[in-house]
Structure 1
């Protein structure tokens, strides 16, 4: 038993994505001695939250508390936990569990984010049928393997969006080798702005932002972008054909100009999709791949090891994401503003009732 209650903004149906979440008490996952309870101070808002609230990707097991960019204080520690101490400032990203078995190829290789038994930080169901609940709340309970100690140099409002948004871009830029390459980032939003920051930090030869219009060009250059391509400009594909070695696409749209994006790649270039639209990706010509031997792949969040490495890089290089703080009490309005494209570039909910 604990002397605190798990309360948060619960979605009860698809209309909860329309600003109709309700603050109420809920039952967290069944406690185990591998778990950590976290008193939440900050939680970033991610596009995944909206997709889940409206059952866009799959039917959501309502009630659901979203939010998987969680920062707070460890207040209860399982007996099996050794790397977290009570009172530590910790964080949780988009994953709350994997099988962690030695005969699982993914877990054994340290890529737990691809484990088929992956349980998301919210909207997930464990083997005992208890559910995972996220960070639009006052407390969170997560398996300690997926709880990270936050370096002192990183402010909590910066650390929160790193744990999903940042990790989602750090992973492919590291895996497919941004260093020394001409990198393109499609979309300058919460994810895309991390793409610019991390591509530069990882030693890209150049970074180009690809967006529909020139509206965000000034921001892109302030973040460190060397070039900017607006797909609304006539002939953009031909003008910049073959100019990039690696493209990471953050856009979640089934109407994006996929054919044009592939034309931007040089011989043996790589296109990585991280945005997850609710409908299939657009069609493209097979010859776009064949003649230039282009690779198309995808990337999912990041492993615990990569998240720890990313946090250290942020601390060492003093990387500063662009965030806007919003009181937790205003979460319903915040998700409406998020859908309207207002963040520059990540909203972070701040629990006004949190006391250290």
Structure 2
């Protein structure tokens, strides 16, 4: 299927319109028209090759909501016209122990990323959701529940599941004491989800500037991390801390805030951290962990939970041709709290046969 997207040809060139072919439908594929695509900080890292493994040309975008426009001969999960969503992965081996227990994100062979991965059959690299159409294995296209606002739901497919998964892994519920470091795209979803689960939620920030926002999102308090007296008073007061900061930083000041057997989970930074001290870990039997996205079943669970609880990201809608300005603002954390591209702003090709 001939379609169009916004691609970069190198780390030094800007995103620009790019015509390309999506694969023909396999028997277990669905084709979708992309209606909305969220803008993730990972997209910015990817187009600039910050991690050193970008494959060009590259089309980012892994927070995707759309409508089914074609189905393969063996498809049973979806039908024409259904609203579906695709997150950070579009395939996995389906045979290893992790895949068989619904943890496709931890596939032993490596899951196939929505962008920057390699098709398991053709070996072509995958191109993401800053485009008009997508062809994806039916198992990796999630059902968008009735009542979930399509225009706002896209960031749930990354920011949402990235924070929901550790909340579920560490069994957060009524009475849990949860801290959230950072109040951006990930952080604001962590606050909303933890609060909806019944937890006592505290946002950690260097200043009081975001206190009103934190409380409006559902937090019970804001802890000023630059205030030594406040930090000392908060020692041993959290069961779980979700660290959403997407750059190199020092986690040492936050470790004493954990109670015995408490865990600090890193979901933001991909890469090095400042050298931490192990003293709070050893003396308090505290833990530092990492967490990626969730599996397909857990992501569907998230979408259903958000529909039931009426939880949606706070988003700012942009046109496709505004992406460069959005990236500039994203670098400055100048967005509350997620950009979403209205893909109606991207002209469709005339031939969409498949």
TM-score by shorter chain over 0.5: yes
Please show how residues 299-310 of structure 1 align to structure 2 within 5 Å. Answer: 299-310=291-302
Structure 1's consecutive aligned runs of 4 or more residues displaced over 4 angstroms after TM superposition are 353-356
**Corresponding position: 1:81 with 2:78:** no
C-alpha distance after superposition, 1:112-167 (max 9, x if no partner)? 11113211101111232212111111111221111011012011122101011101
C-alpha distance after superposition, 1:12-65 (max 9, x if no partner)? 11124xxx1110112334642222111011000001101111111232110011
CA contact 1:29–1:132 (8 Å) conserved in 2 = no
CA contact 2:223–2:231 (8 Å) conserved in 1 = no
Q: Which residue number in structure 1 is paired with residue 256 of structure 2?
A: 263
Q: Which residue number in structure 2 is paired with residue 282 of structure 1?
A: 274
C-alpha distance after superposition, 1:62-98 (max 9, x if no partner)? 0011000111111111122211111111110011110
Q: Which residue number in structure 2 is paired with residue 175 of structure 1?
A: 169
| Distance in 1, Cα, partners of 2:347 & 2:130 | 16
**Corresponding position: 1:213 with 2:207:** yes
Unaligned runs of 5+ in 1: none
SS in 2 for 1:215: coil
SS in 2 for 1:86: coil
| Distance in 1, Cα, partners of 2:195 & 2:135 | 35
Q: Which residue number in structure 1 is paired with residue 22 of structure 2?
A: 28
Q: Which residue number in structure 2 is paired with residue 195 of structure 1?
A: 190
Q: Which residue number in structure 2 is paired with residue 272 of structure 1?
A: 265
Match for residue 246 of structure 1 among 230, 240, 243: 240
**Corresponding position: 1:14 with 2:16:** no
TM-score by length of 2: 0.93
Q: Which residue number in structure 2 is paired with residue 294 of structure 1?
A: 286
**Corresponding position: 1:120 with 2:113:** yes
CA contact 2:224–2:231 (8 Å) conserved in 1 = no
Q: Which residue number in structure 1 is paired with residue 323 of structure 2?
A: 331
Aligned pair in 2 of structure 1 residues 327, 98: CA closer, same or farther (>3 Å)? Answer: same
Q: Which residue number in structure 2 is paired with residue 348 of structure 1?
A: 340
Count of residue pairs the alignment pairs up: 345
| Distance in 1, Cα, partners of 2:134 & 2:171 | 34
Q: Which residue number in structure 1 is paired with residue 93 of structure 2?
A: 99
Unaligned runs of 5+ in 2: 349-354
1:294 offset after TM fit, Å? Answer: 0.9
C-alpha distance after superposition, 1:209-249 (max 9, x if no partner)? 01222221110000010111122224443121111110111
TM-score by length of 1: 0.93
CA contact 1:251–1:276 (8 Å) conserved in 2 = yes
SS in 1 for 2:12: helix
| Distance in 2, Cα, partners of 1:22 & 1:39 | 20
| Distance in 2, Cα, partners of 1:117 & 1:80 | 25
1:307 offset after TM fit, Å? Answer: 0.9
CA contact 1:65–1:134 (8 Å) conserved in 2 = yes
| Distance in 1, Cα, partners of 2:224 & 2:10 | 37
| Distance in 2, Cα, partners of 1:238 & 1:182 | 17
Match for residue 136 of structure 2 among 123, 138, 142: 142
